[in-house]
Structure 1
Amino acid sequence: MTTVDLYNLNPILQVMGAGLAFALLPLIWWVWRHRHAPSGRRLQALTVLTLFLTFDLILFGAFTRLTDSGLGCPDWPGCYGSATPMGAQQHIDAAQSAMPTGPVTHGKAWIEMVHRYLATGVGVLILILSVMTWRLRRKNPAHAVSSWWPTFTLLWVCMQGAFGALTVTMKLFPAIVTLHLLFGIGLLALLAAQAVRYEGWQSRLVPSGWRKGLWLAYALLWLQIALGGWVSTNYAVLACTGFPSCNGSWLPTLDWQGFALWRDLGHTVHGEVLPFVALTTIHFVHRSAAWMVLAALVAVAWGLRRVPSMQKLAHAVWALAALQLATGLSNVVLDWPLVAAVLHTGGASALVLVLTWALCISRSDSVSSSGPVVRERSSFDSRPAA
């Protein structure tokens, strides 16, 4: 097999063009659907549209990772120096012949490149969002969203693209792949925070104790997502068989080498093969922490349910927590089915979205968590004030 340059920028314009093509269809729909809407409403709609497509991108990224397609094209940003796998057919044929079930096949190459096109398309939408927000802010300084929000989001998505490149060029280095996942879900949170800031989403008063609980649940959720990403990127999903025990034991033998952050995939920091017990430890820690996070989510949703304007969000948290429990168990007892694994990532992303939304539309009131709750009316609420 011939060597491949890890970075080959020759096809970068064609790849960017493909990303633009992916962005055109939702952009055309957005322009037509909101052609008569005020500028602020149009920007809100574009933000929500970008949020939706970012969520889809996270799901497709999970699909790419779970089908072992992350190295379907071993260089960046193209595929063997071409903008599509069609131009790299000879190289892919050679790699697939040498290793039929290896990281490079025609199917995996297409999955990886479609993921890159989608990511570029989302980047195009965020660039447009940033430019339009700056223009509107210049005309209307009182606009609800600061121009720095989409600008920071644009910088964030550029960093996400850099981690995407490093994921390939550093051969699925676990720390890089996990950071790539966290940055992707972080992008979702940033877009959600901007969508909330537009007119119509006013603050709901929440007892201060429950709002602190909401922040705690949010922090624990991020920790659990990081642990889950570490399980996935180290291929430790099946290292703990059986439930509720792990490999027939309630407390398996633990080896913490798996939590060394700066090491190659499947190896220790000293370059030795990572022992299976280290993979078991990674899985067991994630599984154990899941119960704590689940309890926190159920408790905070129960508290938010007492706030009339937060009941739908509370129900969404309960539903998503149940989905995470079901898909997490399915990954173990059904030997990691692809659908359940993708849904597990999607459920975690949706929980971040819901909790981010809840935090952004709420603020603490001056009473204790056991006292009455006062609600501020939203401009979307047509019911008469009490």
Structure 2
Amino acid sequence: MLIQLAIMGLLAAMLPLAIVWASSDADKYRKLVWVTVFLTFDLIMFGAFTRLTDSGLGCPDWPGCYGHANPLQAHEQISAAEAAMPTGPVTVAKAWIEMIHRYLAMGVGVLIIAIMVIAWMRWLKSKRQEARFSPGLPTMLFVSVCLQGAFGAWTVTLKLQPAIVTTHLLLGMLLLAMLTWLGARQSAVPASSPDGRRLALSAAVGSALLAVQIALGGWVSTNYAALACLDFPLCHGKLVPEMDFANGFELWRHLGKTGDGDWLPFPALTAIHWVHRNFAFVVVAWLGWLGLRAMRIDATRRTGRRILIVAGLQFMTGMSTIFLKWPLALAVVHNGGAAALVLLLTMLNFEARSAAQAAVNRAATRLSAA
């Protein structure tokens, strides 16, 4: 089974590798990194689809499906489970969704291994002269994707425990951010700006706020609290409804249960939803201000404009999911918006820091020339 799964991972990576190889881009390494960024973004979107369709336990074991490499080989066991519980966690469709997600994840893992190997080879060949091939970050990516795989396994073996599933989401976003930073490192250095340092600090704060909001959103999703409040801007007709923060935000507990093993009360779900909803105003306000500030600097103008657009769309899809009662397609798009903001804020952090460093280097050059 493990050999068959390894072959599936290699097959999933073959198409993007072929695209990179056949590309007219002279810098194949840069192309490979950005293709991997694109596929990681897609993987996060498909992971959201897997979670939102309740397919996380479509194959209740790991890494295979009932000990097999694909649902076809496990058709008898899957059909028996579906017959016993037609609306349960195991169906033929859910099994395929879950395994396709795993195949895609393995494919991204193969691409990251390729990135790490190439970086080490180029770094050693250039006698450690080319900074963009520094293997530290690619090696960290390899460690991160292995850790992400472990949390993927625990997601299944611990039966969708909210803390594990939310951490799995956060690690996926971190992987996207690290890949984006690596991709930005392959590109040309932007124009210098003395304002870059202050913007970089503001962008770092924005990234931290976004990380908290994504964690809260993951907590909403993994606890199935998306429909805990169906009105807006109020919740159950109140500005501050009845809420149970202690049980809602107790981290180590089983899905749908309190830490003591009782059923999770509805006010706990209300608390989870209400906190995520209201913290969104803080995040959108900061990102709006940050985007406008970035647009005043040549080196970050385009990224700042994109942050404004995506943050606005993300807020709109968040509100729409409430009014439309969390339709699947819109919920997946909302997850994709969060991933897009991670990518854009990572780019802004890199551009702002690079612009500030370029300004320092330029000043030093002038001083030495004088």
For this structure pair, what is the TM-score category when the shorter chain's length is used for normalisation? over 0.9
Which TM-score applies when normalising by structure 2?
Answer: 0.93
Counterpart of 1:253 in structure 2 is: 242
Contact map agreement 1:241 1:332 (CA 8 A) in 2: yes
From the superposition, tell whether residues 204 and 247 of structure 1 become closer, same or farther in structure 2 (CA, over 3 Å).
farther
C-alpha contact 1:246 1:252 (8 A) present in aligned 2: yes
What CA distance in whole angstroms lies between the structure 2 residues aligned with 1:246 and 1:45?
47
The change in CA–CA distance for 1:290 and 1:330 in structure 2 (over 3 A counts) is same
Alignment of 1:221 with 2:216, yes or no, is no
TM-score normalised per structure 1: 0.89
Quick check: 1:157 aligned with 2:111? no
Structure with more of its chain in helix, by fraction: 2
Q: Does the alignment pair 1:230 with 2:219?
A: yes
Say if 2:55 and 2:98, in contact at 8 Å, map to a contact too. yes
What secondary structure, in the 3-state scheme, does the structure 1 residue paired with 2:231 have? coil
Q: Which of residues 104, 127, 134 in structure 2 aligns to 1:118?
A: 104
CA apart distance, 1:199: 4.7
Which of residues 262, 283, 295 in structure 1 aligns to 2:285? 295
Task: Give deviations 1:34-56, integer Å, cap 9, x for gaps.
Answer: 5x72xxx2111111110110000
Tell me whether 1:26 sits opposite 2:12 in the alignment: no
1:228 deviates by 0.4
Q: Distance in 2 between matches of 1:342 and 1:72?
A: 18
In 1: Cα distance, 2:184 partner to 2:91 partner: 42
Secondary structure of the corresponding residue to residue 85 of structure 1: coil
Partner Cα distance (1:125, 1:338) in 2 = 29
CA contact (8 A) 1:204 1:362 kept: no
- Equivalent position SS for 1:312: helix
Q: What SS is found at the alignment partner of 1:188?
A: helix
Residue 19 of structure 1 and its aligned partner are, at CA, apart by: 1.2
* CA offset digits 1:198-225 (Å, max 9, x no partner): 2513464235443322221111011000
Residues 300, 96 of structure 1: CA spacing in aligned structure 2 closer, same or farther, 3 A cutoff? same
Measure the CA separation in 2 of the matches of 1:25 and 1:376: 41
State the Cα distance separating 1:57 from its structure 2 match: 0.4
Give me the whole-angstrom Cα distance separating, in 2, the residues matched to 1:375 and 1:280. 50
Partner amino acid, structure 1, of 2:120: W
Q: Which residue of 1 aligns with 2:155?
A: 167
Residue 101 of structure 1 pairs with residue 87 of structure 2: yes
Whichever residue aligns with residue 104 of structure 1, its letter is V
The one-letter code matched in structure 1 to 2:242 is T
Q: 1:375 to 1:48 in 2, by over 3 A?
A: farther
Counterpart pick for 1:212 among 191, 195, 201: 201
Q: Indicate the residue corresponding to 1:47 in structure 2.
A: 33
Contact 2:191 2:299 in 1 (8 A): no
Q: Which runs of 5+ in 1 are unaligned?
A: 1-10, 367-373, 378-386
Letter in 2 for 1:71: L
The 2-side partners of 1:162 and 1:44 are apart by: 28
The percentage of counterpart residues that share the same residue type is: 50
304-313 or 229-238, which moves further after superposition? 304-313
Runs of 4 or more off by more than 4 Å in structure 1?
374-377
- The residue aligned with 1:369 is none
What is the 5 A alignment of 1:2-41?
11-34=1-24, 37=26, 41=27
1:375 deviates by 11
Q: CA 1:138–1:80 in structure 2 vs 1: closer, same or farther (change >3 Å)?
A: same
RMSD over aligned CA atoms reads 1.8
**Partners of 2:191 and 2:116 in 1: how far apart?**
25
CA contact (8 A) 1:239 1:279 kept: yes
Question: What is the aligned partner in structure 2 of residue 186 from structure 1?
Answer: 174
Mapped to 2, the partners of 1:131 and 1:198 lie a distance apart of 16
Which residue of structure 1 aligns with residue 46 of structure 2? 60
Residue deviations 1:54-112 (CA, integer Å, cap 9, x gap): 00000000000000000000000110011110111111111111110110000000000
Provide closer, same or farther for how the CA distance between residues 61 and 203 of structure 1 changes in structure 2, counting only shifts above 3 A: farther
What CA distance in whole angstroms lies between the structure 1 residues aligned with 2:81 and 2:313? 39
Mapped to 2, the partners of 1:327 and 1:334 lie a distance apart of 10
- 2:67 corresponds to which of 61, 81, 86: 81
